[in-house]
Amino acid sequence: MSLAFLKNLAFPKDKQQVQGGTCPTRHPPFDFETNRAEERQPPSPALAQKRSEGSWLSCESSVDLEAQKLPPQSSTSSLQKCKPESKRRFQFKPSPRMISDAIIGLSDGMTVPFALTAGLASLGDTRLVVLGGLAELIAGAISMGLGGLLGAKSEAESYNATVSQTKKMMETNEASVIVQEVLGRYRVPTPTIRDIFDSLKKNPEELLEFLMRFHHQMPEPEGSRPFVCAATIALGYFFGGFIPLLPYLCVKRNEVMIGLWWSISVMAVALFTFGWVKTGVVVGWRGGENIRQALKSAVQMLVIGGVAAGAAVGLVRAMNHG
């Protein structure tokens, strides 16, 4: 007992406890009796977890992840990247060729049948105007559709013939000369042109596509192009020509002049709107210059339709009186 008392006086135990992740300033002396008692009793799960997780980490410089907050912009951008992409709305945008075919069909359909019905109106019979207009619409739509079909097929045949000639040209040294001429317009260095040609020569399909697109300037036509062209032109012609017939269907048989004036009014609005829309689709709807171009096109369509209708009415009346 005296030895233990002297030992405690010489080496007092540190009563500081490790709390909240603080490190003890000094370690207490090793006590054999306490150590044996701890070995006999298994440590509790909470104490074991505290020893395994907090005892040695608390004595080292740890990094507080919660204290290191990301900037608002970076955190927002990272969250946006993690989020799935929002569903994009499906927007149908017609090709320029389809727009061109529709313009051809509508412009002819709104001009020729209107002039014909205006000329037939001078005969004084609404039934005759409607039957003559429908006959012209059907015949004109079929004719215009067949013209578009044959034109698109001729374009495809011309493309195939050019492809055959280009394949024969690729077997000679002429292909390298053409590639050099095409790239030389953009001031590409000669060594770079040689590297590009060597890379294209390894894949004949890519070389053929390059020559067709940049030398002949003939993109490959779509397989359904002839039928789409024919249907677009025919439907455009029919719907465009059916507009001036609508007023005649709403009046009596002997009120043909009333139908004529209504037809002129409707077609004036339709021609003006069509001229505005067809230019707005191509150049845009905003801006002073675009608005002036659309207005100019609308006036042109109105004048052309009016001149055609006036000429038709004058000729029919002249022939009828003669």
pLDDT by residue for the chain (322 residues), tens only, comes to: 444 444 455 555 544 444 444 444 444 544 444 444 444 555 554 444 444 444 443 434 444 444 444 444 444 444 444 444 444 554 556 677 888 888 888 888 888 888 888 888 878 888 989 999 999 999 999 999 999 999 999 988 999 999 999 998 888 888 888 998 899 888 889 899 899 988 988 998 999 999 999 888 888 888 788 899 999 999 999 998 898 899 999 888 888 889 888 988 998 898 899 889 888 877 788 888 889 999 998 999 889 877 877 787 777 777 767 6
Provide the residue range defining the domain that includes 149: 96-321
15 in a structural domain: no
Q: Rounded to an integer, what distance in angstroms lies between the CA atom of residue 75 and that of residue 60?
A: 29
26 in any annotated domain: no
Residue 310 lies in a domain: yes
The answer to the question of residue 78 being in a domain is: no
Q: 């025919």: which residue's tokens?
A: 234
The answer as to whether 10 is a domain residue is no
Q: Is residue 81 part of a domain?
A: no
224 within some domain: yes
Q: How many domains are contained in the chain?
A: 1
Burial of 268 from C-beta contacts in 10 A (0-12 / 13-18 / 19+)? middle
pTM: 0.62
Q: What is the pLDDT of residue 106?
A: 86
266 occurs within a structural domain: yes
